[in-house]
Amino acid sequence: MPRLVIDDLQIEVPEGTKVIEAAERLGIMIPRFCYHKALGSAGACRMCAVKFIHGPFKGLQMSCMIDAQDGMVVSTTDEEAVAFRRQVIEWLMMNHPHDCPVCDEGGQCLLQDETVSGGHGLRRYPGRKRTYHDQYLGEFIAHEMNRCIHCYRCSRFYQDFAGYRDLGPMQIANRVYFGRFRDGPLESPFAGNLVDICPTGVYTDRSSRYKARRWDLQRVPFLCIHCSLGCSTVASARYREVVRIEARFNESVNGHFICDRGRFAYPYANLADRPRRARVDGEDASLAEAVRAASGRLDQISMNAGPDAVALVASDRCSLETLAVLKRISREKGWRHPAVFPRPDLEHKTRRAVSRLDRRLAVSMRELESADFILAVGIDPVHEAPMLALALRQAFREDAGIVVMDPRPVSAPFDFDHVAIAPAEIGGCLSRITEALSALQADSAAQGKETRRPEAAGPLRADLDSRIAGIVERLRGSRNPVIVCGTDIVRDSTPDRAADLARLLLQLKARPCLFFVLPGPNSFGAVLLAESPGRSFSDVVQDIEQGKVKALLVVESDPFKNFPDRERLERALDRLDLLAAMDYLPTSVVGRAHIVLPTCTVFECGGSFINQEGRVQRVEPVHEGGIPVHQVSGGGHPPRVFSHEVPGGEIEAAWRTALEVAGYTNARDNLSILKIMAEEHPGFARCRDIPTSRSFRVLPDAGDRPPVCEETGDRAAPEAADTLEVVLVDRFFGTEELSGYSPVIQNADSEPLVFLHVRDAEPLGIAHSDWISIALEGGGLEVRAGVSAQMAEGVLVIPRHRLLEWQKLGPVPAQIPFGRISRAGKE
Amino acid sequence: MIPEALKRELLERTARAEHPREMAVDVMYALQGYYGYMSDEAMEEAAEIVGMTPLELEELATFYDFIYRRPVGRYVIRVCDSAVCWMEGYQSVVDHLTSRLGIGLGDTTADGLFSLIPVCCIGYCDRAPAMLINRKVYGELTPEKIDRILQKLATGKPAAGEE
Ligand code: SF4
Ligand code: SF4
Ligand code: FES
Ligand code: FES
């Protein structure tokens, strides 16, 4: 490890560390623009010049371009270096429009900081400035090219790091321009990171434009809850309104970046039609009154019809606090344990995934980046766990091989082999890979015996054989393979099969190698707290229909979003004696509930969530809640009347209100939520000792459990050749619940397509982007078709998009006969 | 749209290349030869042939002097503005050209005959100052010599090296 001296301080750094980085470790921040930890060095801006006094380099050099070496003596304060940097910043400012007062970057701008630190204060250049035309880059990002200092960070991020190809540098010399070929929305789902990464105000967040200076904001280290990965963010609020989300570095989860869903989903917290007032039977009430009413009626029903006539419904966007409290009160009251998952299969697969993950097997997303071979099954990364796609891209850039086994027309910012097979075939392939690998293993263990070829077992398609053999070979030849497994579209036993393969790989390679993607931000927490086997919402509906359940307390959950049969759900809810809803979203359930108890969003009350690798992450509130000032004032001056009350400020975290509904009178003051959590699951005891900025994993140590592979009757692949299997899927925008309420995301979203294979489409006379109609019992579904050759045959891929009434499909899984699908006349 | 035959030929040549993108400049030249310059539509056509995005091709087209993203005159005059020519009187060459043609650098004459643009060293330093018209090089330029060349081109006598 090289040891060097920077500004009279000694430091030892790992081989390959740049001098700029070594200095940073000493707390010396050498000015820089183009250097960025995730993007590396470019030597483009010349801002990081320092003086090399002793060692292999001499004189003025760029500290971002030179590796730290033994015996180097470096000065960052040398007169020559200081003068050089002062000149560089003067050049860089030559064409700058000096529009800081109207620039959103002002106050958090690296260019401002380095101009000051470089000592440039007086403009000497009297000539004309170079100016550019700006482009329309979509709903998320504003473009102001005149502010550019040509550090190339944006294009290096956009093209090299993230792998998208529609933004980059054009022109030459003094005219170099960063933008698109034509105006138009940026294609990358990670484009929002340009806002964070540009050291000046070329790219700014349109959704928060002109709303605040950084120092006006309440800024808190935060957590993204828009998929199961749990990326780190910084959330900012002003005047009781969330105004901006930025990426926050997390060395285990997301690295430096986040996706655009995570960045632009926040407006759900600011909605004008958010439930802000409690309601009882259609009348506004105070929260206390509504709690009293709910509490009384629930007790009444418990008394008359037995406590298990009361059922709780939650969702995986509930915090761990809320889920723990619901578990506690349902036990103490004898109510039915909360149903968290909309479908039994999701609950089952999540539970299997969680129970198979342990400390030795689980890889974090950052560790995944150093894998050299990745087999991803039943997952469409960009759509289901966006930042996973970026992690896979980093592995790909280091030459990892990637195989994606999935029926969808998967597209991703890296090269991969796509094994496009139906969901039913995935599990079988995994088993065969495991068998073949362990057979080879046994052979090489028993030397001398002739090598046995893995037998082709199971009724699989012949053309898969060679591909499977290829995967087996690559797994064998890799040093650090990882299995990524989704839980949405796969069959019930697939997570177990993936875990079996991962266990074998762990034996062979002695490295963690399993990465699950779960349905939602707190699915992991939900199954940890669930009774086993847990119940899903469809069980609840059945119980209502059979008259066993008479009251429903729905907590931060919208069954209408996911329940496959809307009419049946409406009928069931109408039978209830009491429907009480607690939520911060204006959901359909809130609209029909007898009693509405508004709750706080995670921005207002904080909370803990467990991501898909078992990482418990806790955040503090960003602001105290209440109705945004501009909504109270109608956009004008804030009210001039003084009061101690914050409008809309009486609402609380769901867990507090739930405790009060259950009769805990002291919920507000004395109860320690951390104590409740620790009592409900021993794994959460550590929450008490861990500061919110740190996370920990609740995973069992390895080896203490034999793999209990529950035999589950998977649905077989459809036999009939004249039907298509419906595969309901998530999409980057439009299917996740919270971001679906964000106006900026709604504007940016594109029309949802239903995909089918060319060979299935052709006989029906359907071409790409034709309107098709799907005739169903619950009515027809008219939608635009996507026709692709890069997907499995025999499936119809339908996004659960908020603009598609896919719920009409009736109980899913479903087979749709070809005869029901036809070209629609619509243009 | 370029003729089917040309398109087929370009696709074949691209297919033979080890990396399709190494054909980017050749393909743009071919399209430029056909259209006279690279319009946005031509850029998109070329991008499709070499399997690049229009942006990626634009990065190259706007960096490389010999791809025209705007219409140019029949004769493109490129005056060398590199060191040796600059020492040998580049400025007076440019002054003479601009006053004779009545256009500035980067412009095209109203009759569509001449475009004038600066260019980096064209390897004619020993006969500086130099310029290039379409594919023909002219050195040791003087005002009289320039007049003769322009005269010849303007009166329609075929200029050698015309594309
Ligand atoms: S737009 Fe921003 S990130 Fe891109 S080169 Fe200019 S200053 Fe750098
Ligand atoms: S990948 Fe998931 S957790 Fe990360 S920022 Fe995107 S939506 Fe949020
Ligand atoms: S940071 Fe070193 S040259 Fe830009
Ligand atoms: S400098 Fe003009 S030709 Fe070389």
Average pLDDT of chain A to the nearest whole number:
92
Which atom of ligand 1 is least distant from the CA of A150? 5
CATH number at residue B83: 3.40.30.10
Distance (Å, whole) CA B72 – CA A195: 38
pLDDT of residue B30: 97
Residue B163 placed within a domain: no
Select the residue of B52, B54, B62 nearest A171 (Cβ to Cβ). B62
Mean pLDDT (whole number) for B123-137: 94
Residues of B in Cβ contact (< 8 Å) with A182: 40, 54
Q: Does B43 touch chain A (CB under 8 A)?
A: yes
Q: Do domains A3-92 and A348-523 have the same CATH topology?
A: no
Distance between CA atoms of residues A62 and A59, nearest Å: 10
Task: Check whether A456 has a pLDDT greater than 60.
Answer: no
3-state secondary structure of A341: strand
- Which atom of ligand 1 lies closest to the CA of A194? 3
When pLDDT is cut at 50, 70 and 90, the band that residue A634 belongs to is confident
Burial of B44 (0-12, 13-18, 19+ CB in 10 A): middle
* C-alpha distances out from residue B141 to A383, B85, B109, B126, Å: 63, 10, 21, 12
On the question of pLDDT at A735 being above 70, the answer is yes
B87 CA to chain A: closest CA distance, Å? 22
- A18 Cα: distance to centroid of ligand 3 (angstroms): 11
pLDDT of residue A420: 97
Give pLDDT, residue A461: 67
Residue A458 has pLDDT above 90, yes or no: no
pLDDT at A452: 44
pLDDT of residue A32: 96
**Which of A167, A171, A172 minimises the CB distance to B55?**
A167
**Chain B residues closer than 8 Å to A187 by CB:** none
Q: Which residues contact A805 (CB under 8 A, 6 or more apart)?
A: A566, A779, A781
| Domain-located, residue B24 | yes
Q: Which phi and psi (to 5°) does residue B54 adopt? A: -55, -35
The pTM of the full predicted model, rounded to 2 decimals, is 0.94
Mean pLDDT, residues A34-59 taken together: 96
Q: How many residues does chain A have?
A: 827
Average pLDDT (B115-119) is 94
Q: pLDDT value at position B161?
A: 46
Residues with CB under 6 A from ligand 4: B 80, 82-85, 121-125, 128, 130
- Please tell me the predicted confidence (pLDDT) of residue A667: 54
Q: What is the pLDDT of residue A567?
A: 86
Cβ contacts (< 8 Å) between B40 and chain A: which residues? 181-182
Candidates A168, A171, A182; nearest CB to B56: A168
Q: What is the DSSP string of A684-729?
A: GGGGGTS-TT--EE--PPTTSS--------PPPPP--TTEEEEEEE
User: What's the CATH number for A723-823?
Assistant: 2.40.40.20
One domain, residues B54 and B107: no
Residues in B closer than 8 angstroms to A171, CB to CB, are 62-63
Q: Percentage of chain B with pLDDT > 70?
A: 95
ipTM value for the complex: 0.90
Please name which of A260, A112, A267 lies closest in space to residue A195, comparing C-alpha atoms: A260
Task: Decide if pLDDT at A272 tops 80.
Answer: yes
Strands in A578-583's sheet, in edge-to-edge order, are A283-285, A278-280, A595-598, A578-583, A551-555, A310-313, A336-339
pLDDT at A454: 45
How far is Cα A221 from Cα B100, in angstroms, rounded to an integer? 67
Using one digit for the tens of pLDDT, what is the confidence trace for A523-557?
999 999 987 677 789 899 999 999 999 999 999 99
pLDDT-based confidence at A491, cuts 50/70/90? very high
CA distance A259 to A555: 27
Range of the domain at B34: 4-61
- Output DSSP code: residue A130: P
Note the pLDDT of residue A717: 60
State residue A694's pLDDT score: 79
pLDDT digits (tens, 9 = 90+) for A280-339: 999 999 999 999 999 999 999 999 999 999 999 999 999 999 999 999 999 999 999 999
Sheet bearing A9-12, strands edge to edge: A9-12, A3-6, A73-75, A49-54, A59-62
With both helix axes pointing from N to C terminus, report the angle between A566-575 and A537-545 in degrees, rounded to the nearest 10: 50
Asked if residue B157 has pLDDT above 90, the reply is no
Residue B55 sits at the chain A interface (C-beta within 8 Å): yes
- A71 vs A564, which has greater pLDDT? A71
How far CA A457 is from CA of A403, A420, A436, A465, A706, in Å, comes to: 21, 20, 10, 10, 25
The pocket around ligand 3, CB under 6 angstroms, is made up of A 32-35, 43-48, 62, 64
pLDDT band at A825 (very low <50, low <70, confident <90, very high): confident
How many other CB atoms are there within 10 angstroms of residue A635's CB atom?
8
Centre of ligand 2 to C-alpha A413, Å, is: 16
Name the phi and psi angles at A21, rounded to 5. Answer: -75, -40
Q: Are A23 and A76 spatial neighbours (Cβ–Cβ below 8 Å)? A: yes
**Can you spell out the DSSP letters for A754-818?**
EEEEHHHHGGGT--TT-EEEEEETTEEEEEEEEEESSS-TTEEEEE--TTS-GGGG-SSS-EEEG
Residues of B in contact with A413 (CB under 8 A): none
Ligand 4 atom nearest to CA at B121: 4
For A50, the enclosing helix (H) or strand (E) is: strand A49-54
**Are B16 and B86 contained in the same domain?**
no
- Quick check: B56 contacting A, CB < 8 Å? yes
* B132/B85 same-domain check: yes
Chain A interface disruption, residue of B52, B58, B66, B120, most A CBs within 10 A: B58
Q: For the residues A812-825, what does the mean pLDDT come to?
A: 83
Record: fold of A348-523: Dimethylsulfoxide Reductase; domain 2 (3.40.228)
The pLDDT of residue A453 is 46
Alpha carbon of B97 to ligand 4 centroid (Å): 17
Q: Is B67 inside any structural domain?
A: no
Sign of CA dihedral B16, B20, B26, B32: positive
Provide the CATH number for the domain around residue B8. 1.10.10
Size of interface A-B (CB pairs under 8 A): 29
Measured from CB, residues less than 6 Å from any atom of ligand 2 are A 224, 226-227, 229-231, 254, 258-259, 261-262, 385-387
Question: Which has more confidence, A568 or A141?
Answer: A141
Expressed in angstroms and rounded, the spacing between residue A45 Cα and the centre of ligand 3 is: 5
* Domain count within chain B: 2
Evaluate the omega torsion of the peptide bond into residue A512 and state whether it is cis, within 30 degrees of 0: no
B85 and B143 in one domain? yes
At what angle are helices A654-661 and A287-305 packed, to 10 degrees? 50
| Number of neighbouring beta carbons within 10 Å of residue A764 | 17
Mean pLDDT of B63-76: 94
Tell if the CB–CB gap between A181 and B63 is shorter than 8 Å. no
Give the tens place of pLDDT for each residue, A399-442.
Answer: 999 999 999 999 999 999 999 999 999 999 999 999 999 998 88
Q: How would you classify the pairing of strands A218-223 and A203-205?
A: unpaired
For the CA of A254, the closest atom of ligand 2 is 4
User: Is A165 touching B (CB cutoff 8 A)?
Assistant: yes
Domain-embedded: residue B92: yes
Report the pLDDT value the prediction gives residue B162, as an integer from 0 to 100.
Answer: 42
Distance from CA of A18 to the nearest CA of B (A): 30
The upper half-sphere exposure of residue A781, i.e. CA atoms within 13 Å in the direction of its Cβ, equals: 25
How far off is chain B from A20, nearest CA to CA, in Å?
A: 30
Note whether residue B38 is domain-resident: yes
Q: Say which DSSP state A160 is in.
A: I
Q: Is the pLDDT of residue A522 over 60?
A: yes
Determine, yes or no, domain membership for B161.
no
Least confident of A34-48, A124-138, A713-727: A713-727
B79 lies in the same domain as B10:
no
Do the Cβ atoms of B58 and A181 come within 8 Å? yes
B83 and B38 fall within a common domain: no
Of residues A207 and A692, more confidently modeled? A207
pLDDT on residue A805: 87
Average pLDDT over residues B53-78: 95
**Residue A427's pLDDT is what?**
95
pLDDT level of residue A701 (50, 70, 90 thresholds): confident
Q: A30, A39, A47, A88: which to mutate for ligand 3, most atoms within 8 A of CB? A: A47
Q: Which residue from B55, B62, B63 is facing A166, i.e. has the nearest CB?
A: B55
Task: Give residue limits of the domains in chain A.
Answer: 3-92, 125-270, 348-523, 723-823
Q: Is residue B150 part of a domain?
A: yes
What integer is the mean pLDDT of B48-58? Answer: 97
A181 reaches B (C-beta below 8 A)? yes
**Does A710 score more than 70 pLDDT?**
no
Chain A residue numbers with beta carbons less than 8 Å from the beta carbon of B56 are: 165, 168
Phi, psi dihedral angles at A428 (to 5 degrees): -60, -40
Give A708 to chain B, closest Cα distance, Å: 49
The domain defined by A3-92 folds into Ubiquitin-like (UB roll) (3.10.20)
Alpha helix stretches (DSSP H) within A448-510: 462-477, 494-509
Residue A474 confidence (pLDDT): 96
Predicted local distance difference test score (pLDDT) of residue A455: 46
Q: Would an 8 Å CB–CB cutoff place A128 in contact with chain B?
A: no
